[in-house]
Each structure stands twice: as structure tokens, then as C-alpha cells.
Amino acid sequence: MTFEQFELLFGRELKKIPLRFKQGVLGFHVEKRTVRYYPTVAGLYILGKYQPDNGYLGPAITLYYGSFMKVCRGLSFKEIQVEIAKTIAHELLHHWENLAGRNLLMEKDLKKLARWKRQLGFSTKDRMGRDLREVILFLYMLFLSLAFVTRLAE
């Protein structure tokens, strides 16, 4: 699916949502980039984001085309369209909760993330990205040291 086709599906799904549910959101955007929850960990992508205050523009919702293409690889147009609709609805719910001074969906999202981290064996308290970078750096330094020692032994 091309970026243009994705934008078209995004536009179609937005038109299906009654204006009263989109009230207060001043921008709906699609970005080409891929966004990972943790930059160094594959598999967990951010499909969309609600920004309560997008600078001077006010509240905005952004969907990430690249993330959708990673997560929805192999899905049909119709299946991707359903995922777009679900993501828009999810981000709109963040908007309405924000207006109501609630954060139940964010709490639910954080619980899902904690469950995902536990299933992968990561601590739910530690930042995974930093830990993984440290492991990779350690392994790199270890192999570099071994190569150096092997060279000296020759």
C-alpha cells in the first residue's frame, strides 16, 4: 500500500466519524515515518498519537504510515482500513478523556505495555531501550577486546 492510498483510507475513515466526536481536535495528520515505542526494540510500534496541545495549533491526532506498514504487513486493504478506524477511535477516546480530566485509556495502555514487557522478560520498571543499548555496547566491547587479545597472542 502506498502512502497516498493510506492517506485516502485515512480520509475515508475520518469522514465516517460524526463531527461531534471530532469536535475540539484541530488537526488530523498522517506522517510517513515509522515510530517505535522503544527505538532499539523491534516489534512494538506506535500506530497513532494524540497530542493534547500541538504547539499553537491545539489538539491533534497523527497516524504513522510507516508503523502501519510494519504492523499490518500482509493484511488486505480492508483489514488495514479497519486498523486505521480502530486507531482513530482510540486516539479520539484519548481526546475525550483529556477533555474530561480522565486518563483511563492511558492507564489501560500502560498496563498492556507492562504485560508485554513481562512476557518478553523485561523489568516493567526499567527503560528497555537503555538496557538493550547497554547490552549491545557491552557485547561489542567484549568482542572487540577478544579480537584485540587474539591479535596480541599471534
Q: What is the pLDDT of residues 15-56, one digit of tens each?
A: 999 999 899 999 999 999 888 776 655 667 889 999 988 676
Distance from chain centroid for Cα 131: 19
Assess whether 27 and 99 both reside in one domain: yes
Q: Which residues are CB-neighbours of 43 under 8 A, at least 6 positions away? A: none
- Average pLDDT over the chain reads 81
Q: Which residues are CB-neighbours of 25 under 8 A, at least 6 positions away? A: 58, 59, 60, 61, 92, 95
Is the pLDDT at 115 greater than 80, yes or no? no
More confident residue, 38 or 62: 62
Host domain of residue 74: 3-122
Assess whether 118 and 129 both reside in one domain: no
CATH number of the CATH domain containing 18 = 3.30.2010.20
Assess whether 101 and 140 both reside in one domain: no
User: Phi first, then psi: what are they for 35, rounded to 5°?
Assistant: -125, 125
Assess whether 73 and 133 both reside in one domain: no
CA distance 25 to 59: 5
Is the pLDDT at 134 greater than 60, yes or no? no
Distance from chain centroid for Cα 149: 43
Model pTM score = 0.71
